[in-house]
Amino acid sequence: MTSSALNQFSNLPPRETAGSSSSNRFDYQKNWSICHFLELHEDGQNYLVVFDHHEDIVVFNHGRTPDSACFYQVKSKKSGKWTIANLAKCTNKDHESSILRKLYKNYENFPDFTVKLAFISNQGLSTKDNKSGKKAVFSELCFSEMHADEKSICAYALEAENKSHSNLSGLNLFEFERTLLTIEDHVNQTKGKLSDFFEKQFPYETVNIGLAYRAVFDEVRRKTNFENTGVRSHSLIKEKSLSKEEFDNMLAVMVGQRSNAQLWSDACSILLNEGCNGLTLKNIRKAWNQVLVDEMNSSNEQFIDVSELVQSTVNIAAQSGNSTIISLAAEVVEKLDPAESAVFDTVKIAAMICREITRNEPLQEISSESEEQKP
């Protein structure tokens, strides 16, 4: 069930759709969004983050039944400070083209549930100090704290094209925030943020940060790139957003009872016992890493379907105990349709089988139990 806020948000077409098709240029924006929802998750907040729909990032206060939303416009800048004049500047006399006007449009579209209009950048804001009137650089500033002259610039930029004043009460929701994420190193900084997150949330678990980052970033990129101007609430939630519940599911895959290294060690032992050579092991290991990433993508329906086939094949084979991983993989491949066969070869299926048979219990524990049961 979706809320009234989500229905309104998804039913109104966004102002532009060019962002998705060219979003590969905006990795900085994606990494900022990752850092932001990591903070929300760490604070225990419920959330639904929507990517590149109406605004760069929109954060609702609940995954299913939200009643408020924060709109974030994220822009990086190589050098120099921002000014209120920069934010209010129009392009080619297009009154609707200014940064401030586009951001404010969200309030005009959704006045009932908009609680924040934030402009995020790696550079500070150079503006008049409210008390002294002298220029100063701010890392954080809300509209109520601005100098009267700067407020006037904002108000003028938001006037209707015929110069009759619009309802500008939403200006009180405007905030400027400088992020510490830099243009030059935002990828490593985000990985560091992810590493800190796992250390705090799962202090006794070993997580491959590189794989975890790749999985999260790829999911954000996929959702950002999804294009459908006629999207409705259900599709929007599924294709353009990430909820706390969905991220929890991703974390469950990233953080298992045993480390990835332990699981691969068990799989490697089985493969060696079955006569696999070094080259085959190397290829399966590479496919294993890709399978880890695929497991974190809860919307990859093709992978889910093939995983179910792998699971059922392994369960049947376990009753006889006569099959090898490679022979089982070949058996599964024969059952795939052409579209699946183009993605899943014998090596990748073998890696999926290895994941299936090692994910539950360590081999040494299974062996110990078997020995105890011997007469």
329 and 186 co-located in one domain? no
37 and 177 co-located in one domain? yes
> Which residue range is the domain that position 229 belongs to?
4-252
138 and 25 co-located in one domain? yes
pLDDT of residue 115: 96
Which residue do the tokens 């990517």 mark?
A: 51
First to last CA, the chain: 57
List Cβ neighbours of 35 (8 Å cut-off, separation of 6 or more): 179, 181, 189, 190, 193
171 and 289 co-located in one domain? no
Domain end marker among 252, 278, 299: 252
Q: Are 253 and 317 in contact (CB under 8 A)?
A: no
196 and 325 co-located in one domain? no
278 and 231 co-located in one domain? no
pLDDT of residue 89: 87
Domain end marker among 205, 227, 252: 252
Radius of gyration for the chain, computed over Cα atoms and rounded to the nearest angstrom? 26
Taking the chain (375 residues) in consecutive chunks of 10 residues, what is each chunk's mean pLDDT? Answer: 77 64 68 97 94 94 93 94 91 78 92 96 94 92 91 80 54 94 94 95 83 90 78 69 90 72 87 92 93 81 92 86 89 94 95 85 37 36
119 and 25 co-located in one domain? yes
274 and 312 co-located in one domain? yes
145 and 72 co-located in one domain? yes
Q: What angle do CA 99, 103, 106 make, to 5 degrees?
A: 155
232 and 114 co-located in one domain? yes
C-alpha–C-alpha distance, residues 111 and 73, integer Å: 17
C-alpha–C-alpha distance, residues 199 and 5, integer Å: 35
What is the number of domains present in the chain? 2
166 and 266 co-located in one domain? no
Closest CA to 305 of 277, 252, 272, 344: 344
pLDDT of residue 250: 86
pLDDT of residue 358: 85
Q: Are 193 and 34 in contact (CB under 8 A)?
A: yes
Domain end marker among 234, 252, 270: 252
List Cβ neighbours of 315 (8 Å cut-off, separation of 6 or more): none
What one-character-per-residue DSSP string does 50-108 give? EEEESEEEEEES-SSS---EEEEEE---SSS-B-HHHHH--BTTBTT-SHHHHHHHHHH
78 and 204 co-located in one domain? yes
pLDDT of residue 307: 92
pLDDT of residue 16: 60
Which residue do the tokens 């954080």 mark?
A: 140
